[in-house]
Structure 1
Amino acid sequence: MTSMTHTTRTVPGPKGVPFLGSMFDLRRSTLETFTRARREHGDLVRFVAGPPGLRSVFHAVFSPEGSQQILASEAANFRKDHPFYEEVRQPFGNGLLTSQDADYLRQRRIVQPLFTKRRVDGYAAAVASEAQAVADRWRTPPGGTVDLVGEMNRLALRTVSRILFGTDVEAAVATVHRCFPVINKYVVRRGFSPRNLPRRWPTPANRKAAAATAELNAVCDSIAAGRRAAGAPGDGEGADLLTLLTRAGTEEDGGLDATEIREQVLVFLLAGHETTATSLAFTLHLLARHPGEQARVREEIDAVLAGRDPEAADLDRLPKLTMALKEAMRLYPAAPVVSRRGVAATEIGGYRIPDGADVIVSPWVTHRHPDLWEDPERFDPLRFTPEREAARHRYAWFPFGGGPRACIGQHFSMLESVLAAAVLLRSYELTAVDRDVPLTAGITLQAAGPARVRLRAVG
């Protein structure tokens, strides 16, 4: 742990309004409030929000060095005991996203073999097939325009559901599409409230969220039970992820029981479709706003694919598209804020952080840090040439987190995003209709309005 040499220094932060501190600013726009706080107070900021007796106090860390300390070098000292994770844990269970200690390590050992590069590359054909289905449907869009927010959400959900559930994809897609927004809204509202009514009280919000959670659990349990009863046909590269989960395990750790399988499936559904949908939608929207960059990317796609469907090996053959995706993920990281709770007192950036303190790191803010990124609001895929990437701090760009809790599905996310974008961009030239897209920060970054583009078929 870092030695504490400046224990008397007071961590700076906004005063906000009397009695309530920064509560209204954080509720109005968390991301804007964090960005302004870094500009006015520096890379470590103390926030106070709420009235006396119901007050929330937390520290926001915006430097890459501080982010690395929390997520990696001192990860054991910063745990997922934060109240927000408890709210996520209630509907989605104790899977890889929320579990800790021995539970997490056991789950990670069991599930890790399902996310090897070789295994994930085997899903490339499914990704390309789902993306081509979208391209075909776009042949006759109303008015020649589509909303990338809804379209990419649907594409990512269908893709991850197909990989998870195989032939049972339709039932899963309909249920997730109906239930996830209800649960997400409920989790975010409770996660950022200093006090909440007990979930067992029959309030309209509690009842609606409980019904959505029960429906989501039921469809996952039903598909899993049917799979076990039928006997999975093997664990080859064509097997869906649910089949692999029912068979996963080690001699030391055993396998996953029915509840654990459902919890992993729910986490994969959450992390595997909302985050990728955000990355895809903003990549395509930014390219639609920058026709020169779009033309360069399409020229690369046409040269590499030459009319064939993309495959896993093309991930390394499409560097311009990959750089555009990474730049979109810099500007619109799907997980814009990551929270932790400190176990023991430590020092970050020359300031003492007390034991038990809630802390957050923010890819949204760090990805826009002017000391790390020149003209940070500008879309410039060339920031991600290999040479420029190697010259930057490891935690100047961390859309997948980092350290021992880094996202297990990051290779799948990159594969899906690049291959799906390649299929759509080889078929259409996109022109932005909406220039600015309003945002909201929930469990993941979400567009709060449309990102419409006009389509022109090419090729």
Structure 2
Amino acid sequence: MSEYGGIAMGNVLPIPGPEWCDDGGAGAISDAGGLHLHQLRLHAEYGGVVRFQLPGAGVAVSVSDPLVLEQTARVDERPASLFAFLEPLCEAGNLQVIGAEEHGPWRRLLLEVFAGRPSHERHFGEFVSLVEEAAERWGGAGGDAVLLQKDLTALSLRMICAYALGGTGGDVVDAEKVVDAFEVVLSGDSGTKQQTSLDYLRSTVDRVIAAREESAREESDRGADRSDLIGALLAAGTSPARIRDTVMVTMLAAHHTTGVAVSWTLHLLGRHPEVAERVAAELDRVLGERSAPDYGDLRELTYLEMVLKESMRLYPPGPYGAREATEDMVIDGIVGVDGAPGTYEIPAGTTVFYPFWAVHMNPDHWPEPEKFRPERFTPEAVAERSRYAYVPFGLGPRSCEGAGLGMVEAQLTLAVLLKRFRFRPVAGHEVTPVERFVLWAADDIPMVVTPRAVGD
């Protein structure tokens, strides 16, 4: 009989993993070149379920097997220590780790705001205007390189303000300054600069809320717009502190994820010109001489959607997720590296770690996973895979509430930019992924932008 986590497991197999180190696992991660590479090595050596040391969490169980992800998807608790870096943004309790009883109603309210397709269509014209304004600025770059992450995260912030903040956000938010302030707050450094940035973010959000409260009073007889986050929070009787926290976290998550997803997609297209040409041909066929799609055109841009999804497979905007087992869990049907099935037990209190990047690189579900192949997302190919083999927006009750909205924003942005421009990598610049709150690129992703015409 073996023992894991203080629980006798009898006939249950011990979860495989490397030897314990006194440094809590930090050295192994550093030696591998980062947590992502460490996870890839662990799962290649030990199979789809691995016990390992995760700094900040102690014992953790990493899962890259989609069948196991499905068995753990119902868990609705997150390990507080791994999300403590968001605490400066939350005065009424860290929204990323609030308990299931409180999280459920809060999530339902967010889904009402973000998940409605009619509201996406209602705001689509605003999105088009914002993207075309950004395209005009790039068109005037005069052949100089543009910084994709810097500009596209700012654009995404403007879009979420237009959508979720009742039309007031764009009037009081300086997108570039807000993006920079979030970077400082999340840097992990403490001191005057971080506090100044946090104060700036809070005062900005307070101005947005104050403007929306005034218009909400005028609209009270008509009822709240279901796509207006602040209006919905006010109508639900949410406390002022929780409203501010929710707006802060929404602005952070929405501008980071969509902006980096589009950035990585353009990065890949710049390195695969044959794919970019096929996207351009589809855009010319669907849009003709028009510079931007209508909402209904998005469903006709099937190859563009495949390209975006394959990009998010290779570079998932949020590279990791985590849950905390609230009770002893038994997972079975696991196939290890030796091909033998097994049954494992995860004790209550264990951090269950989801390395989405490793899930997306699992060769059992993605042949030659390192290659960029949009055809992986044809309807036929998707039907043959486990739905948990592709989880760019997370899974279960803690998955991203704004996933649908994010896809609309990303597809529209790509359509407008690729209809108008070609993108070429800057010679000599190495694009290096950095594992942070989102999958960022160190030193940005500079690209040379040149105009294209229909048929070019």
TM-score for both structures, normalised by structure 1: 0.85
> Structure 1 residues 408 and 55 mapped into 2: Cα distance closer, same or farther (>3 Å)?
closer
Identity of paired residues, percent? 30
Q: Which residue of 1 aligns with 2:353?
A: 360
Q: Which residue of 1 aligns with 2:450?
A: 456
Unaligned runs of 5+ residues in structure 1 are 187-203, 250-254
**One-letter code aligned to 1:25:** A
Q: Which residue of 1 aligns with 2:5?
A: none
SS of match in other structure, 1:271: helix
> Structure 1 residues 355 and 233 mapped into 2: Cα distance closer, same or farther (>3 Å)?
same
Q: Which residue of 1 aligns with 2:141?
A: 141
> Structure 1 residues 353 and 296 mapped into 2: Cα distance closer, same or farther (>3 Å)?
same
Q: Which residue of 2 aligns with 1:191?
A: none
Q: Which residue of 2 aligns with 1:336?
A: 319
Question: Is 2:260 the partner of 1:259?
Answer: no
Unaligned runs of 5+ residues in structure 2 are 1-7, 335-342
> Does the 8 A contact of 1:341 with 1:356 survive in 2?
yes
Cα displacement (A) at 1:436 = 4.6
> Does the 8 A contact of 1:82 with 1:339 survive in 2?
no
CA distance in 2, matches of 1:449, 1:274: 16
Equivalent residues, number: 426
Alignment of 1:238-387 (within 5 A): 241-249=228-236, 255-308=237-290, 309-348=292-331, 349=334, 350-387=343-380
Question: Is 2:400 the partner of 1:418?
Answer: no
Q: Which residue of 2 aligns with 1:35?
A: 40
> Does the 8 A contact of 1:286 with 1:328 survive in 2?
yes
TM-score for both structures, normalised by structure 2: 0.86
* Runs of 4+ displaced beyond 6 Å: 235-240
> Does the 8 A contact of 1:175 with 1:219 survive in 2?
no
Cα displacement (A) at 1:170 = 5.4
Residues 165-222 of structure 1 deviation map (CA, whole Å, 9 limit, x = unaligned): 4344254225422320112222xxxxxxxxxxxxxxxxx7155434432321222122
> Structure 1 residues 387 and 219 mapped into 2: Cα distance closer, same or farther (>3 Å)?
same
Cα displacement (A) at 1:276 = 0.5
SS of match in other structure, 2:423: strand
> Does the 8 A contact of 1:59 with 1:358 survive in 2?
yes
Q: Which residue of 2 aligns with 1:22?
A: 25
SS of match in other structure, 1:439: strand
Cα displacement (A) at 1:277 = 0.9
> Does the 8 A contact of 2:147 with 2:447 survive in 1?
yes
Q: Which residue of 2 aligns with 1:128?
A: 128
**One-letter code aligned to 1:222:** R
Q: CA RMSD in A?
A: 2.6
> Structure 1 residues 448 and 237 mapped into 2: Cα distance closer, same or farther (>3 Å)?
farther
Question: Is 2:426 the partner of 1:439?
Answer: no
Q: Which residue of 2 aligns with 1:68?
A: 70
CA distance in 1, matches of 2:218, 2:378: 43
SS of match in other structure, 1:333: coil
SS of match in other structure, 2:322: strand
Question: Is 2:395 the partner of 1:394?
Answer: no
SS of match in other structure, 2:14: coil
> Structure 1 residues 142 and 106 mapped into 2: Cα distance closer, same or farther (>3 Å)?
same
CA distance in 2, matches of 1:95, 1:318: 38
The more displaced of 97-106 and 361-370 is 97-106
SS of match in other structure, 2:139: coil
SS of match in other structure, 2:244: helix
> Structure 1 residues 236 and 301 mapped into 2: Cα distance closer, same or farther (>3 Å)?
farther
Question: Is 2:204 the partner of 1:225?
Answer: no
Residues 44-81 of structure 1 deviation map (CA, whole Å, 9 limit, x = unaligned): 1122267xxx9822111111012122223xx25xx113
